[in-house]
Structure 1
Amino acid sequence: MFVVILKATVADLDQDYMEALEQMKKLAFEEYGCLEFTAMMDGNKRMALSYWESEEQIRKWKENSEHLNTQKIAKQRWYQSYSVQIAQITREYSFNT
């Protein structure tokens, strides 16, 4: 399993952002096999985690034209900066889930 970690400094998260986020989540789950998505905010810092079975799914998602267009808008309007990390999960522990 793989996780994509998006860390961003946000500028202005308006209603358009919320609608784009919902559309991107729907697309990721329905067409590219995203397993889970979680996001959190702390002040103007945002972190989003998405989980995937394969790097191939992540690559295809990254190349989707609608996703690329949304990224372009995000750079112009919603994010001051961001970074993306992709990691393979090799072990998982849990308690009371």
Structure 2
Amino acid sequence: MSGIAKTPEPPYYAVIFTSERTAGDNGYSAMGDRMVGLASAQPGFLGVESVRDEQGVGITVSYWASLEAIAHWKQHAVHQAAQKLGKAEWYQRFGLRVCKVERDQFFEM
């Protein structure tokens, strides 16, 4: 996951997942890659951007065409299993925000 996601003209939705990790990988990286692959195959998925700092605080923003697409992803069985593992092993705490993107602007050299 690198770079700026290429999203369509607004409106669309952003799901912002902010987390503080526990120590060690414990399968986290592999599951993260799997989640991106599965999400990418979901109808309505538009892209993802993700960063994590040295202290373990991360922000992942996924972009979606509709609230319905977000709801379907939330119910995906493998995604639900990953959520349970996240609560049990990978995160000290996390927050989730869902936003409607009404305007965007980009710059590129």
- With normalisation by structure 2, the TM-score equals 0.83
Post-superposition offset of 1:12: 2.8
Q: Secondary structure at the match of 1:35?
A: strand
Percent of residue pairs identical: 28
Matched, 1:93 2:105: yes
**1:50 equivalenced with 2:58 (yes/no):** no
Matched residue count: 97
User: Structure 2 regions of 5+ residues with no counterpart?
Assistant: 1-11
Cα shift at 1:15: 5.5
Q: Which runs of 4+ in 1 moved over 2 A?
A: none
The alignment yields a C-alpha RMSD, in angstroms, of: 1.4
Q: Distance in 2 between matches of 1:21 and 1:96?
A: 28
Give the secondary-structure state (helix, strand or coil) at the position aligned to 1:12: coil
User: Conserved in 1, the CA contact under 8 Å of 2:35 and 2:79?
Assistant: yes
Query: SS in structure 2 opposite 1:82?
Result: strand
Larger relative helix fraction: 1
Q: 1:37 — aligned with what?
A: 48
Structure 1 residues 77-86 or 35-44, which shifts more? 35-44
Residue equivalent to 2:36: 25
- Mind listing any 5+ residue stretches in structure 1 that lack a counterpart? none
Following superposition, the deviation at residue 25 of structure 1 comes to 0.7
What CA deviation, in whole Å up to 9, does each residue of 1:11-56 have, x standing for no partner? 0351511111111111101134321111111222111000011110
The more displaced of 6-15 and 78-87 is 6-15
CA distance in 2, matches of 1:35, 1:29: 8
